[in-house]
Amino acid sequence: MQDPTSRHDLNLNPTPASFPDRRDDRFLIDSSPFENDPFVDPPAIRSPRVFDIPGVVHTFLFFALAIFILLVGEFATVAIGRQLSPFRHEDFSTLAGDARLMIPAQALQYLVLLVLTAILFGAIWRQPFWNAIHWNAPAAAKRWLALIGLGILLGFGSSLASNYLPMPKEAPILNDLMHSTTGAWLMFIFGTTGAPLIEELGFRGFLLPSLLNLFRGLERRQAISPATAAGVGIPVSILLTSLPFALLHSLQVSNAWAPILLIGVVSIVLCLVRLWTNSLAASTLVHATYNFCLFAGMLVASDGFRHLDKLNN
């Protein structure tokens, strides 16, 4: 698969069902007019008809599966935790916020979700899951230095902006960190590995391309023009992806508008990275680096998580 940044060197014949710059062809799976399209992965050309991967129904199914696994997992974790001597006398809310118990359990839940998702959608799409979802690790490897630099820039920019915005004094995520040094380290590790992977899979792997495919479908049915599909579909899809992404983290920051706004801006950048590189691995790398910078700041502020009370300041 060729690098999307070099598309201006190619002499392509436009088709009526494509955006003017053909950037969204990466989300279209079509065995007929796009059989020789360099922006479509060859393994994806399997079906005799046109269909979009992922679609809105696929996205709904993924999030329904994720919610079910996480809810069942949380209640099961609390029930098991109450049988363990270190947590036997803690109530539900305390247990649910104890990173020593919940982070390992959540990591297991994410692993189950990832395995089931790969198996289920690989079977539905009848092609390798990571190809269909455009993981595209080579594109991320090619630009790894720039992607890490962008993640660092986002982390420092977010921290700097928080000094000038009304931030909550007691955010639940900080309270969760302050239970123990062990819990803080577990959150650091999980927050820079499993968490960004699953969040990118859900929002930039499923939701964003499914919204773009929705506009593509409207264009193919001639309900909207190609110019509208490109000029309106892309920014609207990015915003509709970033809004729930920001709201997902709202409880961690006491529903304060300023940190939610910052998270929304970060999400927009991640969406742009995902679209520009055609690589979910690329946006995951930026996301993980961004989270690393935030946790590294907490690590320094608390003297290696040894003085967690300093995080209140």
Task: Check pLDDT > 80 for residue 13.
Answer: no
Given a cut of 50, whether residue 9 has pLDDT beyond it is no
- Would you say 307 and 208 are in contact if contact means Cβ atoms under 8 Å apart? no
Question: Is pLDDT above 80 for 304?
Answer: yes
- Give the least confident one: 139-153, 167-181, 216-230: 167-181
pLDDT of res. 224: 93
More confident residue, 175 or 201: 201
pLDDT at position 177 is: 64
Alpha carbon distance 278, 288 (integer Å): 18
pLDDT for 18 equals 39
Alpha carbon distance 11, 101 (integer Å):
57
Confidence of residue 255 (pLDDT cuts 50, 70, 90): confident
The torsion region of residue 85 among left (phi > 0), alpha (psi -120 to 50) and beta comes to alpha
Whether this prediction's pTM lies above 0.75 is answered by yes
> What is the number of structural domains in the chain?
1
Query: What is the domain extent for residue 270?
Result: 4-312
Percentage, residues of the chain above pLDDT 90:
60
pLDDT at 294 over 50: yes
**Mean pLDDT for the chain overall:** 83
Phi, psi of 212 (to 5 degrees): -60, -40
- Cis? peptide before 54, omega within 30° of 0: yes
Mean pLDDT, range 207-211, rounded to an integer = 97
Assess whether pLDDT exceeds 80 at residue 242: yes
pLDDT tens per residue, range 64-118: 999 999 999 988 998 888 888 777 777 777 777 788 888 999 999 999 999 999 9
Q: Distance between CA 7 and CA 9 in Å, rounded? A: 5
Of 19-23, 85-89, 136-140, 289-293, the one with minimum mean pLDDT is 19-23
Helix axes 99-125, 181-191, angle to 10 degrees: 20
pLDDT greater than 70 at residue 251: yes
First to last CA, the chain: 49
Out of 233-237, 276-280, 302-306, pick the least confident: 302-306
Whether residue 19 has pLDDT greater than 60: no
Whole-number pLDDT of residue 124: 96
